[in-house]
Amino acid sequence: MKDSEVKDEQGGSGVRGAANFVAGMVLGALIGAGIAMLVAPAEGSVLRKRLGRRARELGEQAREGLDEAAHRTRRQLARRRRRLQARLDRLADEARESISDLP
């Protein structure tokens, strides 16, 4: 398979690139939340509520990112399947023509 066929239209590497992006986003948010907890004065119960709310938000963002990556992957797979089927059809036609041309 050619390198140009492996990369998607944005120049990324499909699912791996999207998963890395989501993982980076989640990691960055967790680090930011941890720093905020260290520098922001708040009572324990308030802090736990904020932390729980932020964790739910991060989980939702991660699910949305993974859903989008899965959608793009399914679209790319369908496109590649169609290209492969067209290539196989052309090869089958060429083989039939070659066989019919034999003496």
Q: What is the pLDDT of residues 52-101, one digit of tens each?
A: 888 889 888 888 888 888 999 999 999 999 999 999 999 999 999 988 88
Residues with Cβ within 8 Å of 72's Cβ and at least 6 positions away in sequence, in order, are: 8, 14, 15, 18
- pLDDT at residue 14 in the model: 65
Structural domain range at position 71: 3-100
Our count of domains for the chain comes to: 1
Sequence length of the chain is 103
Average pLDDT over residues 21-48: 78
Instruction: Using pLDDT thresholds of 50, 70 and 90, give the confidence band for residue 13.
Output: low
Instruction: Using pLDDT thresholds of 50, 70 and 90, give the confidence band for residue 42.
Output: low
- Angle, to 10 degrees, between the axis of helix 44-100 and the axis of helix 15-39? 170
